[in-house]
Amino acid sequence: MLENDISALSDRDSVNLDELEADIWRREHRLSTLRAAGRFTASGQGLILLLAVTLSAATGISAASKTTKPIASLVGNSLAPSTLLLGSHR
């Protein structure tokens, strides 16, 4: 890439390097702005993911605490598949 830039500069009729330093600083500023935006976006995505996991866990814990035992377990083992297959249920 650098070789292409140098050859493009040398192929021009008149080489004007007066604006070179200003162009370099402008490019560096643009690159640092893009890097900062990328860090900000990644931080925001991480925060949203943390919030989603936390809310999901809280919802799961809340739902699990409100459930009751299934009715079949209150009856006892008389409805277990092994007793139903043997015909020993009443």
Residue 58, both tokens: 């809280």
* Residue 2 or 76, more confident: 2
pLDDT the model gives residue 43? 96
> How many CB atoms sit inside 10 A of residue 89's CB?
11
* Residue 77 or 7, more confident: 7
Going 37 to 41 to 42 to 46, the CA torsion angle's sign is: positive
pLDDT the model gives residue 37? 96
Q: Which three-class secondary structure state does DSSP give residue 74?
A: helix
Tens digits of residue pLDDT in 42-85? 999 999 999 999 999 999 999 888 876 655 554 555 666 666 66
Tens digits of residue pLDDT in 12-50? 767 677 888 889 999 999 999 999 999 999 999 999 999
The contacts of residue 83 (CB under 8 Å, 6+ apart) are 77, 89
